[in-house]
Amino acid sequence: MTCCEGWTSCNGFSLLVLLLLGVVLNAMPLIVSLIEEDRSSQNPISCFEWWFPGIIGAGLMAIPATTMSLTARKRECCNNRTGMFLSSLFSVITVIGALYCMLISIQALLEGPLMCNSQGNSTANCEFSLKNISDIRPEDFNLRWFFNDSCVPPAGSKNPTSNDVTASGWRASSLHFNSEENKHRLIHFSVFLGLLLVGILEVLFGLSQIVIGFLGCLCGVSKRRSQIV
């Protein structure tokens, strides 16, 4: 096995793990809401999971590249020039899906859980577009909805995140499952931070496979493998 084939095989296994992790993380808010409230259409934890960043972005869109890369272990289609080229082509789809997962996760971390918004459980803040992403500024990533003692806006407040953060508000250690609000904040933060990391790793593995695939296409694979296929 050449270094190109070996890295392709390793990439396939890594993408498989990330794919499954993305699906599980995406399903967590849906499962929690279904178990606690016996409904799946309205979720007080979040609404960005309905864009399926982990199931579609980091999941389904990574399946072609994962399948193609894993065949390198079995002396199949990835062990010739055409197979290596296809692995690079499918990795482009993986990168696009991973970027989609990352953008949704960033927007979700910026907005926070539904109960932290002034509109309550309304899905008005769940709109996702490239314009929303382009309007994000570095100072917006203060995560006040997570670090404040409470993220629930007071009556009549339209923009709770504009309040100054007190010193006691940054005590993240005070967050635990002692209240429904804290539970929703922890689940939302954990899920979308995890999806963001999954997306970043998939982008890195996808880009590396694009490079390795083109190298394998240009330089060829091992002669013994090429004769077998």
Residue-wise pLDDT tens digits, 154-184: 555 545 444 444 434 444 445 555 677 788 8
Q: How many CA atoms lie within 13 A of 178 on its CB side?
A: 6
Helix, strand, coil percentages (3-state) for the chain, rounded to 5, are 75, 0, 25
What is the per-residue pLDDT for 58?
95
Mean pLDDT of 41-68: 85
Task: Tell me: pLDDT of 87 over 80.
Answer: yes
Share of the chain above pLDDT 70, in %: 60
Give 17-66 as a DSSP string: HHHHHHHHHHHHHHHHHHHHHS-SS--SS-SGGGG-IIIIITTGGGHHHH
What's the pTM? 0.78
pLDDT band at 46 (very low <50, low <70, confident <90, very high): confident
What is the per-residue pLDDT for 140?
64
Task: Tell me: pLDDT of 54 over 70.
Answer: yes
For 156, the token pair is 């009549």
Mean pLDDT of 79-85: 74
What is the per-residue pLDDT for 141?
66
Mean pLDDT of 54-64: 95
- Exposure class string for 189-200: b at 16+ Cβ within 10 A, else e: bebbbbbbbbbb
Residue-wise pLDDT tens digits, 91-141: 999 999 999 999 999 988 988 887 776 554 445 556 666 666 666 666 666
For 129, the token pair is 């577009």
Give 158-218 as a DSSP string: S-GGGSPPPGGGG-GGG-STTSHHHHHHHHHHHHHHHHHHHHHHHHHHHHHHHHHHHHHHH
Contact in structure between 94 and 101 (CB atoms under 8 Å): no
38-47, 124-133, 169-178, 205-214: the lowest-pLDDT one: 169-178
Highest averaged pLDDT of the listed ranges 81-85, 115-119, 186-190, 191-195 = 191-195
What is the rounded end-to-end Cα distance, in angstroms, of the chain?
A: 13
For 68, the token pair is 């193609």
Task: Tell me: pLDDT of 49 over 70.
Answer: yes
d(CA 193, CA 173) in angstroms, rounded, equals 17
Boundaries of every domain in the chain: 6-36+47-116+136-147
d(CA 44, CA 147) in angstroms, rounded, equals 19
